[in-house]
Structure formats: C-alpha cells, structure tokens
Chain A
Amino acid sequence: MGFLSNLINGISLGSIYAVIALGYTMVYGIAKMLNFAHGDVIMIGGYFVYLSSSKLLHLPPVLSVLIAMVACTILGITIEKIAYKPLRKATSLAVLITAIGVSYFLQNIALVIFGANPVTFTSVVSIPAIKLFDGQIVISGETSVAIVVSILVVIGLSLFIKKTKTGKAMLAVSEDKGAAQLMGINVNKTISITFAIGSALAAIAGALYCSAYPILQNTTGAMPGIKAFTAAVFGGIGSIPGAMIGGILIGVIEILGRAYISTQLADAIVFAVLILILMFKPTGILGKKMVEKV
C-alpha cells in the first residue's frame, strides 16, 4: 500500500512537472532556445497567488490563480520582448547566457521585494482528500487537482495546436521559421504567443507546486524548473505528449527514489536520469531527430 501511495504522489508531482515542461518544450520547439528563466516564472506566479489569495487581497483561490496567470503572461511576453527578441539571430551561447541572466534577475528581484525568509503558502485547493482501502491510501485534494489539471492542460493545448490558426502557425514556425514567414505567418507574434502560453502555464504550475510544497522563497522555482526540463528532454523535446509522459516518469522516479533510496539523493537520482537519457537517447521517448543543414 505504501508503494501505491508513493506512486500516486509521484504521478501528482510529475503532473506538475508536466505542466512546467510544456512551457520548456514549446519555447524550445518554436524559438529554439532553452528558456532558463522559465522555472523562475513559476516562483513569480507562486508569489502572485500568495499575494492575492492570502497576503493582500484575500481573493478566492481560482481568481488568485487567474490573476497570477495574467501577471505571468505579461511577464513572459515582456521578458521575450526585452531580453530574447533582440538576440533572435545571435548564437545559442549568447541567448543561453541571457536567459541565465533573466533567471538570475527574477530570483534577485524577488529577493529584494520579498526578502530571504520563505513564506508559508496557503493551498489553493479546498477539495477534500479521497480515502481508499479503508483509509490505507489517502489522496490529498492537491494530488487529485494536480493530476486532473495537467490532463486538461495537455488535452487543451494539443487541441489548440491542431485546431486553431495560431496553433498551426506555431507548428509551422517550429518546422521552419523562414518558410513560415514567407507564408505570411507573423513569426514574432507567434513566438510571443508561445511565451505567453508557457508563462500562463507556469503560473498554474506555481500554484499547484506551492500548494503541494507550501514553502515559497526566491529560489523555489529553480529546482522544479530544471527537473521539468529533464522531463521535457526525457519525453522528447518539442513534443507535447512527450512532456506529459516525461513529467510523470520524472515525478515517479523522484518520489520513489526519495522513499526507497535516500531523501538526500532524490534530486541526484533525477539528474542522473537526465545524463543517462542524453547518453543513450538524446531525442527522448517521442522526440524527432534533427538534421543539420550544411
């Protein structure tokens, strides 16, 4: 029973990783860059939920999350406009360093505004826990909400990309920026929208993550960010279902590692997984192989 309960917790944590990983995978697929600051957008989202639900405004949870989503969307678009857009044609090294700079900036501005002391986050979930097998397994409200939300997000996003004009434009840009432009697609706008969606998802992930692990500080987003990137690579970078599969696998590996191997080394195990994937299957489970043009 202990195993089953760990497994469920793993799937739940993995669902949150999946939502974060979607942001990485979309931006990587379309803008061809690793947005290092994505994890920190989660942290900013967490603070917005915290401020609007408990600290300042005492709004209902759903409304707080919506406010955080709007705030993060604006943040994501602003970051892209100011920091990344001028570097569209620069080397990946320059873009990567800039993204690290943005991550560093977000962490430190949160430090200046909110201080170094962590705040206790009040869960946004008020759904009661589900008890199975006469209470031997308890699935908390946070756990079930995380799983349901992530499934909805993945389905919604897949439909968005397949059915809408904007979604198809995103696909086209990810295939070939130049050709998409010639077809009359506004590449800059498409990239902006990608960042907007990724950041809104990061806000959701922030609310879910902080509800499950209610300690919020300026570095809160860094670790889940890196693990979610691992998930995106695991599933195959650029693939939406891949992000979901990768996220859940990483979540399960982390929780089982924590339970059965070592609490201290759980993170190390996840990172070891990343290194192993890159060694043996760098394209991930559902990834495509990219051919370099000469």
Chain B
Amino acid sequence: MLKKLKFKKPDTKNSFVTYGLLLVTFAIVKILFEAGKLSYMIKDLLVPLCVYAILAVSLNLTVGILGELSLGQAGFMCVGAYSGALFSNLLEEAIPQVLIRFPLAMIVGGICAAIFGILIGIPVLRLRGDYLAIVTLAFGEIIKNIFASVYLGLDANGFHVSMKTASDLNMDLDGEMLINGALGLNGTPRDSNFTIAFIVLFITTIVAYNFVNSRTGRAVMSIRDNRIASESVGINVTKYKLITFALTAFFAGVAGSLYSHNFSTLQASKFDYNLSILVLVFVVLGGIGSIRGSIVASILLTLIPELLRGSIGKYRMLIYAVILIVMMIVNNGDYFINLKEKISVKFSSKFKKTKKEVV
C-alpha cells in the first residue's frame, strides 16, 4: 500500500485564524509605514511579498488540494503581467480612475492566464503527474521565450507587431513602444501599492479557503486521495482537475498583473523556471495543503534572507534545497513515518498514565 502524503485539512475555524492574522499584520505594517519606521528596502518589498504569497496560495491549490505538481507558475504569472500591463497601458486615458482600471487590469491578467491554464491543462491533465510537471515547466519556458522575442508598438496607424527587431515595426517616430523584445514591458502605470496588494492577497486567501471547503473542493481532494474511487462515485476527474488548474493559473495571472504594475519596465526573463521552483519551495516548506503555511513561508523566506543579506545570502537557495529534501524525507519516508508512529504511541500511553495519576 502506498503511504500518502500528509495533507493538512483547512477547516472553517482555521480560515478565520488566518484572516485575523493577515489583518493584524496588515494593521501593524500600515502603522509602521505611516510612522515612517520602515526602511526603503522593506517598503520596496511589500508588494512583492504579497505577490509571492498569492502565488504560493494559488499553487497550493494544485499541489496540496489536487495533489498534482505544476511548475508553470512563472509562465502564468508572465501571461498575467503582460496582459494586465498592456490593458492598463492602452486604457490609461480611457479609464483614468486607477481604482477602476487597476482591478480590471488584474482581472484581465487573471483571465488570460486562466485561459492558458485550460489550454495547457486539457492535453496533459489526463496524464500521470510527472508529465504534468515537465509540461508546465516547458510551457513556462515557451511563454518566457515568446514574450522575450515580441516587439509591439502603437502609433497613429494602429498596432505593429514583430518577432524579430524593433526597427521591423516600421512605426511612426511618435509611436509608443509597448513591448520591446527582451527589454520587456514599457510604460506600465505604477498602480500597485501595499494596500491594494494586501487586499488582493486577502481575497485570494478567502477564495482559496472557500474553494477547499466546498462541494468542488471536496471533489478535488477526493481525486487527490484516490482517483479510481473518485471516478467510481461519479466525479468527473478531468473537469475538476481543470477547474483547479485554471483557478491556480488565474491567481498567478492576477499576481503577475499586480507585479507588473509595480514597475514601469519589466523583462520576461524575470519569469523563469527558478521563480516557479521558489514558489514551490514556499508551498512545501509552509506545509503542503496548508494555506496559512504558504503565506507565512513565502513572507518569512523572502524577508529573512533580505534582512540577513550578505551573511547567508549566498547560501540561501542551498539551505532551502536542503530543508526541502529533508522535509520530504521526514514527512514521507517509510523510516520516519514508522518512527513517528512509535513515538506517538509511546507518548500517548505515557500521557494517559500521567493523566490517571493526576486524577
């Protein structure tokens, strides 16, 4: 019999603890921010921290709830970043109100990423897990390569697209360069700020918890726990895999859009395979299946190395890799599972004894 991964099950009480923690953290950071107590470095990190947390929570839906591995998080983020930024760039004058334009840009980014998620999911979600991992990785690289070689400009004559060079666009001199090949996105309005980023993270968290604790979430977890049994009670496995995958891609896209509006220029090369792995590290170290864990891990694992820059910065990734391997072996290895059972049996029997003695 296969030993299953231990998945933490988020229940309703659990979710409200997380909401509380998020709100308290937000309040503290906001107060420190207003009081001018935050260093520039921390201020610059606030939006990326929320972005990483959103990425980790959304990836956890696929890894922890569905039990499949996706390495395309950076790719979906890239789609969201580009589509959202283009949306804002083009409609900056048509929709001058940031509070309307920016949420729309994030939704556009999310939907575009979700569409890609579904397109990529249909062929591969019926295959075994290893293939999904490698295909999502491949997909991420394709997206990165394509966006890094696109030139898109806009002038009085309309859009100009080229896959070769900027001069191939043949634009008017006053034309605007929207995507400049490997140099990336240009002129995105810097609409992101900490408050908006936090709100998006908060909504993502609520959606994630509600998704898990619903009829759909149960169906998804049943596929994770036993696909054959799940089919035998009438669950359409492909459909629920796709829904989860699309939801993960959607929030990765939203995070991407949030991210691209934090910088006026952004290169596609940022969205590489290492980013996907980093997000996976957050999910695993935070506890597979634990939404709160994903948030805490992504924040701590980003903050700590920044604060200790220099001393351990060089070894950061190496340390993560070691922790990742050790955690997987301790949580899933035969030897440690047996060891833990033995300890818990001993411990609980001791505990009962002492309890009796007290009584």
Contact = CB atoms under 8 A, between A and B. Distances in A.
Contacts of A91: 2-5, 67, 332
A152 to B, nearest CB: 28
A90 B332 contact: yes
Interface residues of B, number: 54
Interface in A90-111: 90-94, 96-98, 100-102, 104-105, 107-109, 111
A107 B277 CA distance: 12
Contacts of A58: none
B148 to A, nearest CB: 7
A75 interface: no
B138 A230 contact: yes
Interface magnitude class on chain A:
35 or more
Contact of A89 (B3, B138, B139, B280): B3
Interface string B317-358: 110111011001101111110000000000000000000000
Interface string A46-87: 000000000000000000000000000000000000010011
A219 B182 CA distance: 20
Nearest to B67: A93
Interface string A103-132: 011011101100000000000000000000
A127 B318 CA distance: 39
Contacts of B324: 97-98, 100-101, 104
B315 A294 contact: no
A279 B127 CA distance: 9
A274 interface: yes
B69 interface: yes
Contacts, number: 142
A101 to B, nearest CB: 4
B260 interface: no
Interface in A219-278: 222, 226, 229-230, 233, 262, 264-265, 267-268, 271-272, 274-275, 278
Interface of A: 28, 33-34, 83, 86-94, 96-98, 100-102, 104-105, 107-109, 111-112, 222, 226, 229-230, 233, 262, 264-265, 267-268, 271-272, 274-275, 278-279, 282, 292, 294
Given A97-B280, A100-B277, 20 more contacts: A34-B130, A83-B325, A86-B334, A89-B2, A89-B334, A92-B130, A94-B332, A98-B324, A98-B325, A101-B321, A105-B321, A105-B322, A109-B318, A111-B317, A112-B315, A264-B145, A264-B148, A264-B163, A265-B163, A274-B135
12 contacts: A34-B130, A91-B332, A93-B5, A97-B284, A107-B317, A230-B138, A262-B149, A267-B145, A271-B142, A272-B142, A275-B124, A275-B135
